[in-house]
């Protein structure tokens, strides 16, 4: 027991060390990005018409006259105290801005990954079971189309068809314009806030607006999940234990879902987690097309004006999101596969 306890503590310490090293590398990366970007953060702050004296004053005030290693140490200190500076565009602390816009993206990405994972896993299993038959060919064409079509193009076409022509879904934004400001923001998640307030008309409006962008993002992410699920399932279906299960008289449903699919759940956890992380940081184009006030649109607008405080913080948060999702994946491994405990 003592030996097992020491092994467990060693594993935890090793994992903690890996996370710290990864975070430190991420901090170095974001710092370097902030220094090599072809943008003058001082000029972006003081404006093009500022005098040389004003420019030099702000340059020294921001610490750009110090050696690079010293600037990095000050950057580490600011990150440790959650001081990410002030946004040039909004005039508010960057962290406050991000905490305001991030729930909108999380809400959108969560709906999208639920659609994408359900669709992708189902189509991947269907394609694997019917390898080289017409269902397999149809699924492969659909996944290829979802991966190949530009998301901004599909977004505009979908708006034109389902909103402008048929009126089946809501248009741009998170809800109808006349509902804005009527729901008190408690969590930042509009669906949760409207339900907590009992504003069911606003809740329905929010659902109506999120369906189309979430479906498009979900379809796009399902292409990757479908291909990986199909590959994993084909590998399992060709194993000897599947042949043995069929010889013993197990139904095709039991063989496929209980045995073959049961053995790829751990792999799918990683695939879905990475797809979810990609949705959180890669929903820039769909948020722009649908005027979705989220993290992606915030990053894009600040990048265009050279607001490096906001850009560096957004890059750092994206990295932290992926590290967190990988950590959660490791924890879920232990749930789905007892051998890893």
Backbone region of residue 47 per phi and psi (left: phi > 0; alpha: psi in -120 to 50; beta: other values): left
| CATH no. of 94-340 | 1.10.3720.10
Q: Percent of the chain beyond pLDDT 70? A: 92
Question: Which stretches of 198-239 are DSSP H helices?
Answer: 200-237
The predicted pLDDT at position 20 comes to: 80
pLDDT tens-digit readout, 80-113: 888 888 888 888 889 999 999 999 999 999 999 9
Instruction: Determine the length of the chain.
Output: 341
Q: What tokens were used for 290?
A: 């649908």
Tell me the sheet residues that pair with 86: 93
pLDDT tens-digit readout, 215-236: 999 998 898 899 999 999 998 8
- C-beta of residue 183 within 8 angstroms of C-beta of residue 190: yes
The predicted pLDDT at position 14 comes to: 65
Structure-model confidence comparison of residues 338 and 82, the more confident one:
82
Q: What's the chain's average pLDDT? A: 83
The predicted pLDDT at position 198 comes to: 87
At residue 336 the predicted structure's pLDDT band, cuts being 50, 70 and 90, is: low
At residue 341 the predicted structure's pLDDT band, cuts being 50, 70 and 90, is: low
The lowest-confidence range among 110-119, 125-134, 297-306, 331-340 is 331-340
Give residue limits of the domains in the chain: 2-80, 94-340
pLDDT above 60 for 4: no
At residue 340 the predicted structure's pLDDT band, cuts being 50, 70 and 90, is: low
At residue 6 the predicted structure's pLDDT band, cuts being 50, 70 and 90, is: low
Name the residue with tokens 């906001």: 310
Average pLDDT for 188-204? 89
The predicted pLDDT at position 119 comes to: 93
Structure-model confidence comparison of residues 205 and 21, the more confident one:
205
The predicted pLDDT at position 203 comes to: 92
Q: Is the dihedral of CA 97, 24, 304, 43 positive or negative?
A: positive
CA angle 334, 335, 341 (to 5 degrees): 30
**What are residue 189's phi and psi, to 5 degrees?**
-90, 115
pLDDT above 80 for 298: yes
The predicted pLDDT at position 112 comes to: 93
Q: What tokens were used for 129?
A: 């079971």
Rounded alpha-carbon distances, angstroms, from residue 321 to 24, 93, 138, 267, 273: 15, 20, 34, 19, 10
- C-beta of residue 280 within 8 angstroms of C-beta of residue 295: yes
Average pLDDT for 16-22? 77
Q: From the CA atom positions of the chain, what is the Rg in Å?
A: 24
If you write DSSP's letter for every residue of 157-187 in order, what string do you get?
HHIIIIIIIS--S--SSSS-GGGTT-S--SS
- Whole-model pTM: value is 0.84
């Amino acid at each position: 027991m003592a030996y097992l306890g020491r092994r467990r503590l060693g594993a935890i310490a090793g994992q903690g060390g890996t996370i710290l090293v990864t975070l430190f590398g991420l901090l170095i990366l974001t710092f370097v990005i902030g220094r090599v970007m072809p943008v003058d953060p001082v000029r972006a702050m003081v404006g093009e018409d500022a005098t040389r004296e004003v420019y030099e004053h702000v340059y020294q005030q921001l610490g750009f006259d110090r050696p690079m290693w010293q600037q990095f140490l000050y950057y580490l200190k600011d990150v440790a105290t959650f001081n990410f500076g002030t946004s040039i565009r909004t005039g508010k602390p960057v962290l406050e801005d991000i905490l305001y816009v991030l729930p909108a993206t999380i809400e959108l990405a969560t709906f999208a990954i639920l659609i994408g994972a359900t669709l992708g896993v189902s189509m991947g299993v269907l394609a694997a079971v019917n390898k080289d038959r017409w269902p397999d060919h149809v699924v492969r064409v659909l996944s290829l189309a979802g991966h190949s079509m530009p998301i901004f193009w599909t977004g505009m076409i979908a708006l034109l068809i389902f909103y402008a022509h048929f009126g089946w879904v809501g248009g741009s934004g998170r809800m109808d314009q006349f509902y804005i400001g009527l729901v008190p923001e408690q969590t930042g998640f509009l669906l949760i806030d409207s339900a907590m307030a009992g504003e069911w008309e606003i809740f329905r409006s929010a659902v109506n607006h999120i369906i189309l962008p979430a479906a498009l993002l979900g379809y796009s992410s399902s292409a990757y999940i479908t291909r990986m699920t199909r590959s994993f399932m084909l590998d399992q279906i060709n194993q000897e234990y599947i042949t043995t299960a069929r010889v013993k008289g197990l139904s095709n449903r039991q063989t496929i879902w209980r045995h073959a699919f049961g053995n790829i759940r751990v792999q799918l956890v990683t695939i879905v987690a990475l797809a979810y992380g990609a949705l959180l940081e890669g929903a820039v184009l769909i948020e722009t097309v649908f005027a979705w006030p989220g993290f992606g649109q915030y990053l894009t607008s600040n990048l265009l004006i050279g607001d490096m405080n906001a850009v560096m913080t957004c890059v750092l948060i994206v990295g932290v999101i992926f590290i967190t999702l990988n950590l959660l994946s490791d924890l879920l491994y232990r749930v789905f596969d007892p051998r890893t405990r």
